[in-house]
Structure 1
Amino acid sequence: MIFEADWVLPIVNPPIEQGAVRVVDGRIEDVGYAEDLRSRYPDEVFTNFHHSILLPGFVNVHTHLEYSVFRGFLDNLAFPEWMLAFIGARKRLNTDDYVASAMLGAMECVGSGITTVGDTVSHGRATLEATKAFGMRTCAFVEVFGMDDSNIPGVLKNLDQRMERFRGMAGPLASLGVSPHAPYTVSGPLYSALMAYSMGAGVKMATHVAESKAEVTFVRNGAGVLAHDFRELVGWDEVPWMPTGASPVKYLEQWGVLNANLLAIHCVQVSQADIEVLKAKDVAVAHCPKSNAKLACGIAPVGDFLAAGLRVGIGSDSLASNNLLDMFGEMRVAILLHRASQLHTQALQAEQALHIATLGGAQVLGLDNIVGSLEPGKRADIIAVDMEYSHFAPIDDPVSALVYGANQEDVFFAMIDGEVVYSRKKFPNIDVAEITDRAMAARAKLW
């Protein structure tokens, strides 16, 4: 089949006006001008998406789909207070509630043009069932906590059992990874053990790091909310912790955790010296601009990451800290915040934002050989955006129009691995009302 559109954005090449993409057996076979593809494949079935832009599906490198029913629940709390409130609230839900929550999140992702997620999971069944139901490409990072080093063998044994169980639940487009939560919830020795585990198992590792000033204060000085209120709440007030005098990034470096296999999530509170360490160790970064802004964590220096040559992807984080799973909004906010903080318009461009939301994200998750761009040989993860609205007119530059003007409601078609999973704003074989009702029932338990 061949899909035509007013514009095709291959990502690795300039936009193609009146372009087309040929898909055969779930694989992209050709990309070019529609007229040329019609000439080369006269017997092919053509679908013309009038007044639209075709591009690769978005790669959302950091989500927590199982927390989708928390949308708007803790809107006005800064990070430390938000964390304390969230820990208490999440205990009110059971596994079935988290499945319902993840289904809601997966549905929003696909309807928003997100075809791949790097999802941090606590209740692995939730994300794996949800992404399988919607045919999504998924890297599920299994979350791990632990500050008591005497328990490390038990923690690793438990992780191994969870990984084995989750493998049996995973769909054909899902892979697993490991996610030590953060430097204030995982000890240095456990971090080292988990990196060794992930390398031995051949899976990627992701961790939240340098997200907030509260985290920096805890790691460097052993003080603040995370050293006292938080540790008391989770029962770690008797577990020893020695201040390191180092930044969170340097702390992870000291424990041998930084390498090309690691995805560092957030990296808001980082110095130039930290960025140099991340570059030297070839660490990838997940940039979550809206979540970081909403929780008053700060603005990550994404322009500096890109200038240093780091692999960078965009993440929405969870709906507990971000009200939308909308990559258009993430790209736009990333640009606007960075330009405002740097006081110049060259700080971040639309083309760069689109790249890190697609191919950059695929590179971060180690999937750039199969998705992230429209190229012959890659799997057919493709979305279409409707341009037939006044907020698009006139269009001279389709990338600018998309990044600055589009939103999740403009997506009307999504294909993952050659399968149509969303068409004309409808999900084949999905009961939207049932998913919404189940999610609302779960949400009611939070109050």
Structure 2
Amino acid sequence: MSTLYRARYLVPVTRGVMEDGALLVAGGQIVDLGSFQELTAAHPRAAVVDFGDDSLLLPPLANAHTHLELTHFPDWLRRSRESGDPENFVDWILRVIRVKRAVAQERLGESLRAGIRACLAAGTGAVGDILSWLPGREVYRNAPLYGRLYLETLGLDPGRNRQMLRLLGHISEECLAGRLRLGLAPHSPYNLSSEYLEDIFRYARRHRLPLTTHVAESDAEVQFLREGRGPIAERLYPYVGWTDMLPAPAEVGPIAYLQQRDGLVADNLLVHGVHVDAADCRAIAGAAASVVLCPRSNQRLGVGVAPVADYVAAGVNLALGTDSLASNESLSVWDELAFARQAYGSALSPETLLRMATCNGAKALGLGAEMGCLEPRYGAHFQVLRMATIPPRGELMDYLVSPGRTQEVRALFLAGRDAHFSLDSGQEVC
């Protein structure tokens, strides 16, 4: 049985906008797309779902970097009675550690479920989620989201690191958590020993596991790697008991540091990438690695603005992520798009930003042939907006990267099934 889904505007992303467009779906896949009139004539027996003249149909968004287990962080912070805003990046890290240590582990499951629901409600169909609470992978068993679930690890103690890598290796043999492929997340060059980082990269390469790494997020990280000093060495390391394990200065920046350890590879999804130069961007492009930009998180933590013009000039695949609610106000990629439009200005066009949030994000998460655009043989993954105001066709791209789109999401179809229906009806989605 085939179904035609009709909308005022159809936005395939990889081709032009279609007015009075329709999507033909059968067996959980897209069969065809085009004008509603032509498709109804060609498929007279297809069921028709008309979303109305105020509707817009386009691919789901990809939140390529987040920590959904921290969704309840604002509540935990209020209960901790910590006051004031962190003054810098390391202050923020220390506060996250303090607050999270006080949270009972069973509450992490509730937080993760809330994060999954928030993503679905905002039209997100795929995530690159980082998980430090390893039992949380069971929460994804019945979730409709696609993407990757990266198991986080960090540390400097050799004995503990060997034990942790064995555990991660055992878990990664499960391959999937629901619809998410399992991978590894060596957190960042500043909180793993050089030897452990190399071990993780070798293990991932041998077992063909995807990776993700926070890199070049702050000037504190750059100073730590180049000079072996600064707030990471002087405040973070003593706080977590690593004073006696302070490494010698690497005397290189974060991207070169990864490259020297065979970690600058196509399947290592790099996150933040704020403090890089044009040569770094060319190296990333040469490795065919993707970079996830998190502009709202970067602004809130005061770490700077990624050099998007250098990334574009080098040809790096750029995606968008919300990071967590420990450093952001929402998990909506629509909100991230609207902020990115202001933060990056003319360096990124509305069309480029929309691609970052859809097909580029899907590619970064290994879903480039499944999701991120509306094309025949792709999965039947799409979202529907009910537009508060109907823009002219020529202004549609500007409309999509303006504030307010999160509230317009009315349906999210994943593999041909409406994930929003589960949310609205109270059915368990995770």
Partner of 2:166 in structure 1?
157
Tell me the residue number matched to 1:327.
333
Q: Deviations over 1:3-49 (max 9, x none)?
A: 10000111111111111111111111111111111111111111111
CA contact (8 A) 1:384 1:411 kept: yes
Matches within 5 A, 1:2-41: 2-41=4-43
Q: Secondary structure at the match of 2:231?
A: coil
What does residue 145 of structure 1 align with? 154
SS of the residue corresponding to residue 233 of structure 2 reads coil
Cα deviation, residue 221, structure 1:
1.1
Match of 2:416 in 1: 418
SS of aligned partner of 1:238 = helix
The partner residue of 1:291 within 274, 294, 297 is 297
Residue 115 (structure 1) aligns with: 125
Normalising by structure 2, what TM-score? 0.93
Conserved? CA contact 1:106–1:130, under 8 Å: no
Instruction: Please state whether the residue corresponding to 1:328 is helix, strand or coil.
Output: helix
Secondary structure of 1:426's counterpart equals: helix
Q: What is the distance in 2 between the residues matched to 1:332 and 1:227?
A: 36
Maintained 8 Å contact 1:131/1:137:
no
Task: Determine whether 1:76 maps to 2:67.
Answer: no
Secondary structure (helix, strand or coil) at the match of 1:413 reads strand
Cα offset, 1:208, TM superposition: 0.2
Q: Does 1:336 align with 2:342?
A: yes
For 1:71, what is the secondary structure of its paired residue? helix
What are structure 2's unaligned runs of at least 5 residues?
none
Counterparts of 2:198 and 2:44 in 1: how far apart (Å)? 57
8 Å contact from structure 2 (residues 233, 246) kept in 1: no
Residue 85 (structure 1) aligns with: 95
CA distance in 2, matches of 1:125, 1:378: 32
Amino acid across the alignment from 1:52: S
**Match for residue 65 of structure 1?**
68
The residue type equivalent to 1:107 in the other structure is: R
Other-structure match for 1:101? 111
Q: Secondary structure at the match of 1:249?
A: helix
SS, match of residue 280 in structure 2: helix
Q: Deviations over 1:111-143 (max 9, x none)?
A: 0000100001111332x3444444111300011
Give the aligned partner of residue 58 of structure 2.
55
Deviations 1:42-66 (A, max 9, x none): 1111111111110110011001000
Structure-1 separation of matches of 2:425 and 2:291: 32
Q: Please give the residue correspondences for 1:9-408 in structure 2 after superposition, counting only pairs within 5 Å.
A: 9-50=11-52, 51-71=54-74, 73=77, 76-77=85-86, 78-126=88-136, 128-149=137-158, 151-164=160-173, 167=175, 170-171=177-178, 173-339=179-345, 345=346, 347-387=347-387, 389-390=388-389, 392-393=390-391, 396-408=394-406
Larger deviation, residues 373-382 vs 401-410: 401-410
TM-superposed CA distance for 1:369, in Å, is 0.8
Equivalents in 2 of 1:331, 1:325: separation in Å?
12
Aligned counterparts of 1:424 and 1:349: Cα–Cα separation in 2: 35
Amino acid at match of 1:414: L
Q: Which amino acid aligns with 1:36?
A: E
Cα distance, 1:152 vs structure 2:
4.3
Say how many residue pairs are matched: 420
1:167: how far off? 4.7
* Shift of residue 276, structure 1, vs aligned partner: 1.9
2:29 partner amino acid = R
Contact 1:147 1:186 in 2 (8 A): yes
Cα distance in 2 for partners of 1:285, 1:369 equals 19
Whether contact under 8 Å (1:421, 1:427) holds in the other structure is: no
State the Cα deviation string for residues 218-267 of structure 1 (Å, max 9, x = none).
Answer: 11111122112211222211113101111111111111211111111000
SS at 1:307 equivalent: helix
**SS in structure 1 opposite 2:182?**
strand
Superposed displacement of residue 280, structure 1: 2.0
SS in 2 for 1:232: helix
* Structure 1 residues 427 and 323, CA gap change in structure 2 (3 angstroms): farther
Contact 1:188–1:252 at 8 Å: present in 2 too? no
Q: 3-state DSSP class of the match of 2:232?
A: coil
Give the alignment's Cα RMSD to 1 decimal: 2.0
Q: Distance in 2 between matches of 1:125 and 1:240?
A: 31
- Against the structure 1 CA distance between its residues 303 and 385, is the aligned structure 2 distance closer, same or farther, given a 3 Å change threshold? farther
Using a 3 Å threshold, how does the CA distance of structure 1 residues 129 and 4 change in structure 2: closer, same or farther? farther
Q: 2 CA distance for matches of 1:260 and 1:34?
A: 40
The CA deviation at 1:79 is 1.6
Question: Deviation of residue 151 (structure 1)?
Answer: 4.8
AA partner of residue 352 (structure 1): T
Tell me the TM-score normalised to structure 1 length: 0.89
In the alignment, the residues of structure 2 paired with residue 332 and residue 137 of structure 1 have an alpha-carbon distance, to the nearest angstrom, of 23
Cα 1:257/1:79, change in 2 over 3 Å? same
For the structure 1 residues 424 and 154, does the alpha-carbon distance in structure 2 shift closer, same or farther, using more than 3 Å as the test?
A: closer
How much has 1:428 moved relative to structure 2? Answer: 5.1
- The letter of the residue matching 1:409 is Q
Task: Give the AA of the match of 1:63.
Answer: T
Q: Distance in 2 between matches of 1:100 and 1:26?
A: 30
Letter in 1 for 2:64: V
Q: Equivalent pairs: percent with the same residue?
A: 31
Gaps in structure 1 of 5+ consecutive residues: 340-344, 436-447
2:90 alignment partner AA: P
Which residue identity is paired with 1:356?
Answer: M
Deviation at 1:217, TM superposition (A): 1.3
SS of residue matched to 2:151: strand
User: Does the 8 A contact of 1:131 with 1:138 survive in 2?
Assistant: no
